[in-house]
Amino acid sequence: MSERADPAGSEGPAGAEGPTGPAGAASGAPVSRTHERTPGARELRAAAEVFALLADPTRLHLLWLLTRGEADVGALTEACGAARPAVSQHLAKLRLGGLVQSRKDGRRVVYAMPDGHLKRLVVEAISRADHVVSGEPWHD
């Protein structure tokens, strides 16, 4: 893959609190990008739902495009090469699943993916696929 996005350094959603935000405020411990606790059944189900939404190549492509910044349906359709109705349906599923957000900008609907965890997950999945396809050696 010739284009590589690096939103891994991106911060979380706009308005998110700093390093001692809500989760770390009570204990005074900084909030980590990873949550070092054993997941329960609810977390595992929620993660499986995310992976189910990522399991479609068109949806994964749309999410990868959104790691680079917000875009409207027209730009996403052009960039991913799928039919506009299909792109709209995929974006609706992603929005209903809570993976993307949308806002009106005049007559356009603009989509964004403000979740830093999801951005890093998408970029890492695509980077891993790049290794599988290219035969490039694994690394950390």
Q: Which residues contact 122 (CB under 8 A, 6 or more apart)?
A: 54, 60, 63, 64, 67, 113
Residues 6 and 134: their CA atoms lie apart, in Å, by 19
7 DSSP 8-state letter:
G
Angle at which helices 73-80 and 84-96 pack, to 10 degrees? 110
User: In this structure, what token pair is assigned to residue 16?
Assistant: 């998110």
Residues 25 and 12: their CA atoms lie apart, in Å, by 17
Reading the chain (140 residues) residue by residue, the pLDDT tens digits are 434 334 444 333 333 333 333 343 344 544 557 778 899 999 999 999 999 999 999 999 999 999 999 999 999 999 999 999 999 999 999 999 999 999 999 999 999 999 999 999 999 999 999 999 999 999 98
Confidence (pTM):
0.74
Tell me the domains of the chain and their CATH numbers.
40-134 (1.10.10.10)
- Sheet with 108-112, strands from edge to edge, namely 71-72, 108-112, 101-105
Q: Which amino acid is at 82?
A: A
